[in-house]
Amino acid sequence: MTAAEKQERPRGGEWSRRGVLSGLLGAPVLLLAACQGGGGKATPGGNGTGSAPAVGGETRSVSPKASVAQITITPADGATAAPFTAPVTVTVQNGTLTSVTVTDGTGKQIAGELAADGASWTSTSKLASGSSYTVAAAAEDKDKRPADANASFSTASPANTFVGYFTPEDGSTVGVGMPVSINFNKAITDRRAVEQAITVVADPPVEIVGHWVDATRLDFRPQQYWAKGTTVTLKLRLKDVAGAKGVYGTQSKNVTFTVGRSQVSVADLKAGTLTVSTDGQVTATYPVIGGSPDHRTWAGKMVISERFQQTRMNSATVGLGSEYDIPDVPHAQRLTTSGTFIHGNYWSPASQFGNANTSHGCIALQDVQGGGNPNTAGARFFASSMVGDVVEVVNSGDRTVNPSNGLNGWNMSWADWKAGSAL
């Protein structure tokens, strides 16, 4: 042994141990060669492929048979304008469905139902317009061999839509006579479908019923005025609801308002007085002027729908030609769509209030020009009022106001009101 060999040789037997380790590392190579046999192929494992003996001791691979189950998804993969009114369907030939999952763009699953024979699945939840969906389906054939299919598609947006303009506003506080009123921008022919998509609930609970005033207006109210302090929620679920052929809603939202104190005023035009009751107690009485014999004031229960510190009143807008044009009527509160207001009046002599009915149909309280005096009857009544308060007119000499003329459905019996529901 040379000096160099002696220098490289490890001490204490390390050399011999290193030699054994090298031999072990080489063993897998020899074993792998032995498994292959004399020139044969290796047998794959864990992938379902088997092997069969062949002449000369070789093995040959056997590919698994593919499943014969064929899955079809509708809408097809890649569709960009699928009808949102049609369900998603998944069918299978030569097999049975084992799972179907449909999710929207937010990950929410769409409910569906599997047929009893397992050959088809149909969504039961409505699709939304202008939305994307993914479908994952699995099946197996009679030999339990699996098959799967996936699809992604998006739904079309409707070409024709409608919306409902509602009152009162979200977050508002209103009087006890305020109905929920919805005006649609297009005529509704499927009133049942639209009414079913709108819910009005109250806390504390009370029965609330919808009434179709006409083809473009749907109001809701309870049998009696709301109780003060009631919280009312309007739930609009009109998105993709067909209001008419080919015309679909777009809204899905909640609107909540609160009923304030109870205030109901009675205008007795024979006595010439307006008596205000708040929470069941008379809080004020004012002398008033009502409609003249030629322009009598409507009778009945009327709800304040709009309020103006000052507004212009022109007779031409209500079909009375050029009889008057007052640019600065103070403290005006609308009672009918046709133009009946309860308002301040600075132009009539003080002696007429409580003693003469000379107006063109409105109810007038004494006021000053500009409405700047808070102590006048007009200013005080205006300050005590809110949208939704009720003004009931008696002894006017005219017929009861049409319930559709303003928010005045309280002039209809409960039975007649409920008869106007489409449900």
Please give the positions annotated as active site: 343, 362
Cα end-to-end span (Å), the chain: 110
| DSSP state letter for 149 | E
Instruction: List C-alpha distances in Å: 143 to 66, 96, 284.
Output: 10, 11, 88
What gap in Å lies between CA 93 and CA 119, rounded to an integer? Answer: 7
Q: Report residue 68 as tokens.
A: 């014969």
Neighbours of 412 (CB within 10 A): 19
Task: Count other Cβ atoms within 10 Å, centred on residue 215.
Answer: 14
23 three-class SS: helix
Q: φ and ψ at 26, to 5 degrees?
A: -80, -15
Q: How far apart are CA 220 and CA 187, in angstroms?
A: 18
Question: Would you state the structure tokens that stand for residue 47, as one six-digit string?
Answer: 């992938």
Give Cα separations from 399 to 52, 266, 318, 393 (angstroms).
Answer: 101, 16, 18, 10
Angle at 404 between CA 238 and CA 220, to 5 degrees: 40
